[in-house]
Amino acid sequence: MKSKLYGTTGKILRVDLGKEGVREEALDESVLRKYVGGTALGSKYLYEEVNPKIAWSDPQNILYLGSGALGGARIAGTGCFSIVTKGALNNGAASTQANGFFGAYLKFSGFDGILIQGASANWKYLYVHDGVAELRDAQHLVGQNTWEIEDTIKKELGYSESGMSVFSIGPAGENLVKFAGVFGDRGHSASHNGVGACWGAKKIKAVAVSRSAGKIEVADAQKVSAIAKQLNEDFKEHIVYQWGTSRGFPGNLKIGELPVKNYTTNLFPEWEKFDGPYIRSHFERKNHPCWACPAPGHSGFLKVTEGPYSGYFGKDPEYEEWAAYGPQIGQIDPGAAVMLANEGDRLGFDCNEAGWIVGWVMECYEKGLLTAKELDGLEMTWGNAEATLTLLRNITYRRGFGNILAEGLKYAAEHIGGEAINMAVSTMKPSTPRGHDHRARWVEMLSTCVTGTGTVETLVPQIRDITAYGLPQQWDRFSWQDVSRVEAKTKGSTQFADSLVTCTWATRHNIPVLTQALNAATGWDLSFDEALKVGRRAINIMRLFNIKAGHTPDMDKPMPRYGSTPVDGPVKGISVEPHWEDMVSNYYHLMGWDRKTGSPLPETLSELGLEHLLKD
């Protein structure tokens, strides 16, 4: 007799868009213990079911939407979910997560994940509720933005605002913009590496999951509750709890990590207006927490009450959006940043890639590499919010020069050529950094360049206690030895969290405690090292997938501007470039990868229980 499963439904939905078929598929406990859910389980499906050599837009590509073993638990931020696919931006593996309610509601509806394959001839959306799922016509949703889609689907299915979680693509995804994302629950985003374009290629417009009456039984409810309380107390100590992620502005500026005018400077004297205390005291705000989250300052709605965009209402942007539509494009009005962040979400694309593109266009305009003629009449001066909005719309609908920009920053830079290439803030893969100046954060520059997910692979700055990994609490952020060692030794932590799937902020990226929570929920006895192996399996699987897709070690480096030397500010004159090859070589060594091919060594795969991949 099959043993009882705790913390999981023990099944996924498999949706074939070509055949318009939906069926359940059982999950074996041994598979769940090895991969847990979310990102790691998605990487397994990606590797086993997708030929790495096909294009991202091929119907054979899959979309895996996964909750994890903590999905729906009374632990803050366990409504998250992960999307795994072959991404549009770099034609390699993509793994990206969104907060909100989707992951919890999916579990309550009876499933750990949804695997979507094939492609539909006509636009569809998937409706999941009470253990069943059905494909419905979505032609009437075409052209709607991501907020409108939520309203339309909830109204036609008869759900209240909190009774359903809807994630969808906007017009950017419909038009296969290569940095389109997936958005839901009023602005939450899973948007790295063009996953929204992958939805668009399959003609899947939205996935709607009701808050069904199902419950997830955990092995030790009392212990799960105690851990939830512990994590909440830890969260209260963090600035995000009270002020949201915009509180990162003063700290990032102080140490040179705030991105300003496309990395041409590190000075931004107007930073205070983008900081949490200013926003809270000058704009009207209403809290809108994610699943089980007690934080009063993170995730909410804003009404702009000053400046030219007074009266504009939308979500309270995350730090990366404030950075993208503020200092990165030389824009000093926080109300304009609120408007641009929300319009970008509704159109449906990644704020990071968009911010780097707009900043690059503005610098090209300033230097005469692009003129208003090439830019369809737009005067792309620094900080021009209205021109930025028009440019974003041109990208969304692939109008004029927007059609070039819709292919991504690296492609656009190479299209212009010459000095424009040296001004693009991107890796060679390509993938763009999150909203920071990584010239002052080498560990994330390294992580972004070697990533197999399409975005930063390890969130070292968010790790609660780095000594748990056998590392000193204090290390030199400008030492290539320290940086490569820290990145390698903490590897697997983020992918493990993204397999549970949990919010980085609410759980403080505390992997030892999250391992305890996993064991309490499932009845397992995973050690901390075994938990890290879950994440490392995902990393090595995606690494192999990308190598087979054509990625090479010489792509594991920054483009010239990304790896340039700051000309002013706190880290003026400090350069990563002379140390790059030594840093990557040491990282490869510590990861157990071959320096020439970039491939995991046989002993590395064997140690992770991936012997079956040795043939590859």
* Domain segments of the chain as ranges: 11-210, 259-271+290-423, 438-613
* Whole-angstrom distance, CA of residue 329 vs CA of residue 258: 12
| Contact predicate 297/243, CB 8 Å | yes
**Are 149 and 168 a contacting pair, CB within 8 Å?**
yes
CATH topology of domain 11-210: Aldehyde Ferredoxin Oxidoreductase;  A, domain 1 (3.60.9)
Q: In angstroms, rounded to a whole number, what is the distance separating the alpha carbons of residues 242 and 482?
A: 32
Q: What pLDDT shows up at residue 2?
A: 53
A 10 A CB-CB count for 294 gives 13
CA dihedral 373, 375, 379, 380 (to 10 degrees): -140
Residue 169 gets the label, from left (phi > 0), alpha (psi -120 to 50) or beta, of: beta
Cα separation, 190 vs 466, whole angstroms: 27
Q: What is the CATH number assigned to the segment(s) 438-613?
A: 1.10.599.10
pTM: 0.98
pLDDT number for residue 4: 86
Same CATH topology for 11-210 and 259-271+290-423? no
CA-based angle 337:165:173, to the nearest 5? 55
What pLDDT score does 615 carry? Answer: 87
The domain at 259-271+290-423 falls in which architecture? Orthogonal Bundle (1.10)
Helix (H) or strand (E) holding 48: helix 38-49
Q: Which residues contact 445 (CB under 8 A, 6 or more apart)?
A: 433, 438, 439, 558, 562, 563, 576
- Are 239 and 505 within 8 A, CB to CB? no
The token pair that represents 43 in the structure block:
């990487």
Q: Sign of the CA dihedral 371, 372, 376, 382? A: positive
Cα 431 versus chain centre, distance: 12
Strands 204-210 and 124-129: parallel
Find the length of the chain: 616
Interval 31-90: pLDDT, tens: 999 999 999 999 999 999 999 999 999 999 999 999 999 999 999 999 999 999 999 999
Q: Return the structure tokens found at 71.
A: 């999905």
The set of residues, in sequence order, having a beta carbon less than 8 Å from that of 93 and lying 6+ positions away, is 43, 46, 84, 86, 87, 452, 453, 454, 542, 545, 546, 549
- pLDDT at site 1: 40
For 298, counting Cβ atoms within 10 Å of its Cβ (0-12 exposed, 13-18 middle, 19+ buried), the class is buried
Which residue numbers in the chain have pLDDT < 70?
Answer: 1-2
Q: Which two tokens stand for residue 517?
A: 């929570």
CB atoms within 10 A of CB 19: 10
Summarize pLDDT for 305-331 with one digit per residue, the tens: 999 999 999 999 999 999 999 999 999
